[in-house]
């Protein structure tokens, strides 16, 4: 088929070309890419996975393999966590340390919903009040560098979660909310926290937070995922 | 060389890593295209961020079924589907939540006003909004995305003859509407 010359290539009037140029020059919001990557969880943890695989290959006995894997994972998580802790300029709690509910509450800045059921897995001596979700403004003045740092921080959380270290991921989320008080990825971080709570056995707490999240963000792209936590 | 369980785990790790890097690359390559398709197909500016995420989440869920090299076509179809749903939702929201008429660009704006970006966007949105949806999509893919008729046919799963006829009608429709706008401007300036 002979294709007609495109209007933008000179076949159109000046106004036609201007209007088409307007359509062609559209770019989405600045933070769109970061939000999409955060929603997909598609950054960072590649290094962790590769490191773990190499450690398995390198080790000769099962004991060595296990030791090397744990070491590589610790180094990679430690380096990334240490990076954004140092960027804070203060002396925050060491991220890999197993947290207690009390310790987690101590670093939570703002109150959240209070479900009736006490947490089932973490420190039994802790109060029944669960760690509240951080409730800080979602949008703030941030640079693309900050956005990248936010993505890296959430990716560390995701990697920790993928390894099954639920309490570690909750601690990293606390650090995230402390560091990025006006971050752009708070919704994604809240979803990760709900995920971590659910997978750590605190189903009631997770359900309560998920309900509250869905009330605030009924049209969120994460809604269907959280709906499965809330249940029918 | 490895125990079967270990080989399986390594294969899983490698597969997971490959999937992630493929997704990352697809986001980098096509995110502007997806945003443009969504916006130009009638999605409200305020919804673009969320809808772009939705498109890529759909891709992520179906990535194993999407052949390498066919991702752009898949993203296009998903974006058009999501844009159609978004338009319906926005229309319903307007009907239910507000008794005010939607803001419509003044058809006889002065050239100075047209130079204003926002006004320009409203004007072109209004023109596209009045076009038949099937015609508009073919028109956008050809004139804005610079796709060939063959590519459009494959992406929309329609014969090339249909692409050609829709394109012909769409161009005539678009040019008529722009011409009407130009006459309005001329009469105002004159």
Helix (H, G, I), strand (E, B) or coil at B102: coil
pLDDT of residue B181: 83
User: Mean pLDDT over all residues of chain A?
Assistant: 67
Q: Do residues B112 and B181 share a domain?
A: yes
Q: Which of B68, B87, B102 is the last residue of a domain?
A: B102
Helix (H, G, I), strand (E, B) or coil at B176: helix
The answer to whether A27 contacts B32, with C-beta atoms less than 8 Å apart, is yes
- Separation CA B62–CA B22 (nearest Å): 13
Q: Do residues B188 and B124 share a domain?
A: yes
Cβ pair A88, A187 in contact under 8 A: no
Query: Which of the given ranges, A184-188, B83-87, B128-132, has the highest pLDDT on average?
Result: B128-132
Q: Do residues B10 and B66 share a domain?
A: yes
Share of chain B above pLDDT 90, in %: 47
Q: Is the pLDDT of residue A147 over 90?
A: no
Q: Is the pLDDT of residue A81 over 50?
A: no
The answer to whether A19 contacts B178, with C-beta atoms less than 8 Å apart, is yes
Q: Do residues B93 and B125 share a domain?
A: no
φ, ψ for residue A90, nearest 5 deg: -120, -170
Q: Looking at beta carbons, which residues of chain B come within 8 Å of A18?
A: 114, 120
How many structural domains is chain B composed of?
Answer: 2
pLDDT band at A140; cut points 50, 70, 90: very low
Q: Do residues B90 and B115 share a domain?
A: no
Q: Looking at beta carbons, which residues of chain A come within 8 Å of B140?
A: 23
Which has the closest alpha carbon to A100: A28, A33, A167? Answer: A167
- The CATH number that applies at residue B166 is 1.10.10.10
Residues whose CB falls within 8 Å of the CB of residue B18, separated by 6 or more in sequence, listed in order? none
- Residue B161: domain span: 105-190
The answer to whether B149 contacts A3, with C-beta atoms less than 8 Å apart, is yes
Q: pLDDT (tens digit, 9 = 90+) per residue, A173-196?
A: 988 888 888 888 888 888 888 988
Q: Do residues B94 and B138 share a domain?
A: no
pLDDT band at A205; cut points 50, 70, 90: confident
- Separation CA B25–CA B75 (nearest Å): 13
Provide mean pLDDT across the span A209-229: 83
Cβ pair B141, B155 in contact under 8 A: yes
Q: Which of B75, B102, B129 is the last residue of a domain?
A: B102
Q: Looking at beta carbons, which residues of chain A come within 8 Å of B17?
A: 46, 49-50
pLDDT of residue B5: 59
Q: Looking at beta carbons, which residues of chain A come within 8 Å of B31?
A: 28, 32-33, 36
- The CATH number that applies at residue B77 is 1.10.1740
Q: Do residues B78 and B160 share a domain?
A: no
Query: Which of the given ranges, A48-52, A76-80, B170-174, has the highest pLDDT on average?
Result: B170-174
The token pair at A215 is 């009330």
Cβ pair A177, A94 in contact under 8 A: no
Which has the closest alpha carbon to A62: B5, B8, B12? Answer: B5
Q: Is B106 exposed, middle or buried (0-12, 13-18, 19+ CB in 10 A)?
A: middle
Interface of A with B in 37-96 (CB under 8 A): 37, 39-43, 45-46, 49-50, 52-53, 56-57
Q: Do residues B71 and B157 share a domain?
A: no
The answer to whether B10 contacts A13, with C-beta atoms less than 8 Å apart, is no
Q: Do residues B109 and B98 share a domain?
A: no
């Amino acid at each position: 088929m002979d294709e007609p010359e495109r209007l933008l290539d000179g076949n159109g009037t000046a106004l036609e070309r201007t209007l088409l140029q307007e359509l062609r020059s559209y770019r989405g919001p600045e933070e769109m890419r970061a939000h999409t990557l955060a929603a997909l969880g598609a950054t960072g943890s590649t290094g962790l996975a590769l490191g773990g695989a190499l450690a398995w290959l390198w080790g000769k006995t099962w004991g060595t393999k296990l030791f090397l894997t744990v070491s590589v994972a610790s180094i990679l998580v430690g380096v990334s966590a240490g990076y954004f802790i140092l960027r804070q300029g203060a002396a925050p709690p060491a991220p890999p340390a197993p947290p207690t509910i009390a310790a987690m509450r101590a670093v939570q800045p703002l109150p959240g919903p209070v479900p009736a059921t006490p947490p089932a897995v973490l420190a039994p001596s802790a109060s029944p009040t669960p760690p509240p979700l951080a409730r800080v403004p979602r949008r703030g003045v941030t640079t693309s560098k900050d956005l990248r740092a936010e993505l890296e921080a959430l990716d560390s959380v995701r990697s920790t979660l993928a390894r099954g270290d639920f309490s570690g991921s909750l601690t990293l989320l606390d650090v995230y909310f402390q560091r990025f008080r006006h971050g752009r990825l708070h919704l994604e971080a809240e979803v990760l926290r709900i995920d971590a709570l659910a997978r750590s056995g605190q189903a009631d707490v997770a359900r309560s937070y998920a309900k509250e999240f869905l009330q605030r963000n009924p049209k969120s792209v994460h809604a269907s995922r959280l709906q499965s936590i809330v249940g029918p | 060389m490895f125990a079967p369980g270990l080989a399986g785990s390594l294969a899983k790790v490698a597969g997971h890593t490959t999937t992630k890097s493929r997704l990352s690359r697809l986001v980098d390559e096509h995110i502007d295209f997806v945003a443009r398709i969504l916006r130009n197909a009638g999605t409200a500016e305020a919804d673009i961020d969320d809808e772009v995420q939705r498109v890529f989440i759909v891709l992520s869920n179906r990535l194993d079924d999407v052949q390498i090299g066919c991702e752009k076509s898949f993203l296009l179809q998903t974006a058009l589907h999501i844009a159609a749903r978004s338009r319906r939702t926005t229309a319903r929201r307007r009907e239910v939540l507000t008794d005010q008429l939607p803001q419509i660009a003044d058809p006889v704006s002065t050239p100075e006003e047209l130079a204003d970006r926002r006004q320009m966007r409203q004007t072109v949105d209004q023109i596209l909004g009045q076009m038949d949806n099937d015609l508009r999509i073919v028109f956008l893919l050809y004139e804005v995305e610079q796709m060939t008729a063959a590519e459009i046919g494959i992406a929309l799963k329609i014969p090339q003859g249909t692409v050609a006829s829709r394109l012909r009608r769409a161009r005539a429709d678009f040019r008529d509407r722009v011409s009407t706008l130009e006459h309005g401007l001329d009469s105002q300036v004159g």
